[in-house]
């Protein structure tokens, strides 16, 4: 059984890697074909698409798994997504820049559109702080009002991102589903995007299923598993997509994919958790939220500093991730 679980881990990762390559290729072609900006393509189209695996997980856990276990898994998955994005996905972008610079594959400056990134981070910090520090202490009616407010807030964010100033998408590389056609029909582009998303979800679930057995064998409880372990798999699409884009010098798409996913995760899944769970955020769950906010705030601060130091700001979140893992291990040993 352990060997089978290992094969599931490897197979899930390979599916996610392959689908991420097809997805980034398809989403670039889609953004160019629809005439959307880089910010909207990265922060909305790519972010929402790759956020599907970790969005589906808590809904399934809460709706189909009765009792505290299902709620623990659901809440952990909801909180785990922003935590992984800010403390692991952002640092991967920063470290990729540094590695690319030392290998002379790219320059050290992070050529991101600052206005779009700052908008994403401000929306995330506001929405997630509201959910983390205010909602747990309010009545159920206030929670419902807050959940509706978060949904409206995301709608405002999408509108501002669509209307905001940003560079147009440049001509994309050849579409994998139509390599010989420089101008493939939009239906072919959509087919590649949707197919890659489906494979992404399948790969993530295979990975989670394999690592779940290993986590149970190690004695991790459901909340910690869903908060710390599962998001490593479900957030892989954002991580891999952004690394690929950074390596190719498409920094705005890379940053927007992660930051846009953070806005989505702090509004849509959080609003579901606020209404349909007890939303009792304490202990390790609360700590993960605080670390996510601090890491995102550090990136926001560095966005006002020299572009060549941007990679450092993106990478600092890894310190919070390492410390959090240390806390979990020492408190459960």
Residues facing 37 on adjacent strands: 168
Look at phi and psi of residue 249 and say left if phi exceeds 0, alpha if psi is from -120 to 50, else beta.
Answer: left
Asked if 47 and 235 touch (Cβ cutoff 8 Å), the reply is no
- pLDDT for 51: 72
- Domain range list for the chain: 2-331
Q: Using CB atoms within 10 A of its CB, is residue 218 exposed (0-12), middle (13-18) or buried (19+)?
A: exposed
Asked if 143 and 135 touch (Cβ cutoff 8 Å), the reply is yes
- pLDDT for 180: 80
The per-residue pLDDT string of the chain (333 residues; one tens digit each, 9 = 90 and over) reads 467 777 776 787 778 777 877 877 887 788 778 777 777 777 787 777 767 666 766 776 677 655 556 677 778 878 888 999 999 999 999 999 999 999 988 888 888 888 889 999 999 999 999 999 877 666 778 888 999 999 999 999 999 888 876 555 555 567 888 888 878 888 998 898 889 888 877 776 676 666 666 666 666 665 666 666 667 666 666 677 788 888 888 888 888 889 999 999 999 999 999 988 888 888 888 999 999 999 999 999 999 987 788 888 999 999 999 999 888 878 765
Asked if 80 and 215 touch (Cβ cutoff 8 Å), the reply is no
Asked if 286 and 135 touch (Cβ cutoff 8 Å), the reply is no
Distances (CA, A) of 271 to 131, 149, 333: 8, 9, 34
Range 2-331 classified under CATH 3.30.200.20: no
Q: How long, in residues, is the chain?
A: 333
- pLDDT for 266: 95
- pLDDT for 4: 75
- pLDDT for 309: 85
Angstrom distance (rounded) from CA 180 to CA 202: 29
Residues sharing a CB contact under 8 Å with residue 59, sequence separation 6 or more, in sequence order? 74, 269, 272
- pLDDT for 166: 55
Angstrom distance (rounded) from CA 256 to CA 236: 15
- pLDDT for 267: 95
Global pTM exceeds 0.75: yes
- pLDDT for 325: 86
Angstrom distance (rounded) from CA 212 to CA 2: 11
Q: Using CB atoms within 10 A of its CB, is residue 155 exposed (0-12), middle (13-18) or buried (19+)?
A: exposed
Residue at token pair 């958790």: 273
């Amino acid at each position: 059984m352990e060997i089978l679980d290992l094969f599931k881990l490897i197979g899930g990762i390979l599916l996610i890697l392959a689908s991420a390559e097809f997805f980034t290729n398809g989403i670039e072609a889609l953004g160019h074909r629809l005439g959307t900006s880089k910010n909207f393509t990265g922060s909305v189209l790519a972010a929402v698409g790759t956020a599907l695996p970790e969005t589906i997980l808590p809904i399934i856990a809460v709706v189909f798994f009765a009792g505290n276990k299902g709620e623990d898994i659901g809440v952990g998955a909801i909180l785990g997504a922003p935590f992984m994005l800010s403390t692991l996905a952002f640092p991967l972008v920063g470290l990729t820049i540094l590695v690319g610079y030392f290998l002379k594959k790219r320059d050290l400056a992070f050529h991101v559109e600052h206005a779009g990134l700052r908008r994403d981070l401000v929306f995330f910090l506001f929405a997630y702080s509201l959910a983390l520090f205010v909602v747990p202490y309010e009545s159920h009616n206030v929670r419902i009002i807050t959940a509706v407010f978060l949904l409206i807030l995301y709608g405002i964010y999408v509108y501002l991102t669509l209307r905001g100033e940003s560079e147009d998408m440049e001509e994309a590389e050849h579409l994998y589903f139509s390599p010989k056609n420089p101008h493939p029909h939009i239906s072919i582009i959509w087919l590649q995007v949707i197919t890659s998303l489906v494979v992404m979800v399948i790969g993530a679930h295979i990975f989670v299923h394999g690592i779940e057995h290993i986590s149970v064998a190690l004695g991790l409880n459901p909340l910690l598993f869903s908060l710390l372990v599962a998001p490593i798999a479900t957030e892989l699409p954002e991580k891999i997509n952004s690394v690929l884009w950074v390596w190719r010098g498409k920094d705005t798409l890379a940053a927007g994919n992660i930051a846009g996913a953070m806005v989505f995760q702090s509004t849509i899944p959080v609003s579901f958790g606020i209404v349909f769970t007890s939303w009792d955020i304490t202990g390790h769950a609360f700590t993960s939220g605080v670390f996510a906010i601090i890491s995102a705030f550090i990136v926001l601060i560095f966005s006002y500093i020299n572009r060549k130091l941007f990679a450092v700001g993106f990478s600092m979140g890894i310190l919070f991730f390492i410390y959090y893992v240390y806390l979990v291990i020492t408190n459960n040993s």
